[in-house]
Structure 1
Amino acid sequence: MSDVKTSEAPAKAQRTLQIVVFKLGQEEYGLQIDQIKEVVITPTITRMPQTPPYIKGVANIRGNVIAIFDLEERFNLTRTQKEGNKYTLVVESEDVKLGLLVSEVPNTISVNPSDLDESVSIINDASTESNYIKGIIKSRDRLIILIDIFKVIDYEMSESIKKTVGAS
């Protein structure tokens, strides 16, 4: 037997998380940067009939017609600014592409995974079936609510399908 010690490197070094931070109501929210395709000045929005109030309509962004969500309204938050939402975060996955309204230019921060407290599932929206709040980021004197926008969208789509199927 050999007395040679091998040092085991951690399987994965802790990589910093890139978070896009924006305000909704009085609070700061964040999305992981890989959930956002781009940030654009909000184009003209065409209202669609028979949609919930937080779906503001559709807009043409770079030749793509996408649904525009107002998360302040969806989360029942008090509006921070009266003049409206000037920017749209374009969110894209394999299944969906949509825009999220924000009033200020979002900024990007890097955080260590150790700054993310994921033990907040108990305070999630009790009426939803999915936990879209991934955790709270503690960054200096700030608390940023990290959400998984695709879970919010999946929940909304499944609710919409349930209502459509229930109505027929």
Structure 2
Amino acid sequence: MRQVVVFGLGKELYGIDIFDLQEIIRMMEITHIPRAPHFIEGVINLRGRIIPVIDLKKRFGLADGEITRDSRIIVVNIDETTAGLIVDYVTEVAALEEEDLEKPPEALTIDARFIHGLAKMGDNIVILIKTSEILNVAEKDQLKNFSKEDTYEKAEGN
């Protein structure tokens, strides 16, 4: 059995493994960083920690949506870097049985390495994503630069 947090981006449902999750928070003020990669919305101050925030819709090439009262930031670990993922809404934590899981079709896996599989939940299909594969190696390096606590000191030359 696998537990996943199920969330929505537009009309589609996605899920991430509960073990990749740190917490789910309401939308908060995001500080936009000039010349940041297109998918990094900015950074937030989460209890004294600077956390980069990724707009998953932009990252996945989906139509931009507006931030609503249901929008959330899912705080996750991406290869030892903490990041926030903007999602339209969170529905539940679901327990999935192995027989409900399927590998993605071969045609999808070429351009969507982040898709771990597909899960059947009643009449719905949940696209399971691997947080470690949301970004490529170069993008992960960019993300690390946004979350380093000593970035300010390096910029100042101290």
What's the TM-score once normalised by structure 1's chain length? 0.75
Q: Residue 89 of structure 1 contacts residue 100 of structure 1 at CA under 8 Å; is this kept in 2?
A: yes
Q: Residue 135 of structure 1 contacts residue 145 of structure 1 at CA under 8 Å; is this kept in 2?
A: yes
Q: Residue 120 of structure 1 contacts residue 133 of structure 1 at CA under 8 Å; is this kept in 2?
A: no
**1:116 paired residue number:** 101
Q: Give 5+ residue unaligned stretches, structure 1.
A: 1-15, 162-168
Higher relative contact order (CA 8 A, sep 6+): 2
Number of residue equivalences: 142
Using the alignment, how far apart are the partners of 1:26 and 1:125 within structure 2?
A: 23
CA, structure 1 residues 156+122, in 2 after alignment: closer, same or farther (shift >3 Å)? farther
1:141 aligns with 2:145: no
**2:147 paired residue number:** none
Letter in 2 for 1:95: E
Q: Residue 24 of structure 2 contacts residue 74 of structure 2 at CA under 8 Å; is this kept in 1?
A: yes
**1:25 paired residue number:** 10
**1:37 paired residue number:** 22
Letter in 1 for 2:132: F
- Root mean square deviation, CA, Å: 2.3
What's the TM-score once normalised by structure 2's chain length? 0.79
Identity of aligned residues (%): 30
Task: Give 1:27 shift.
Answer: 0.5
Q: Which structure: larger Rg?
A: 1
Q: Give 5+ residue unaligned stretches, structure 2.
A: 144-158
**1:46 paired residue number:** 31
CA, structure 1 residues 144+59, in 2 after alignment: closer, same or farther (shift >3 Å)? same
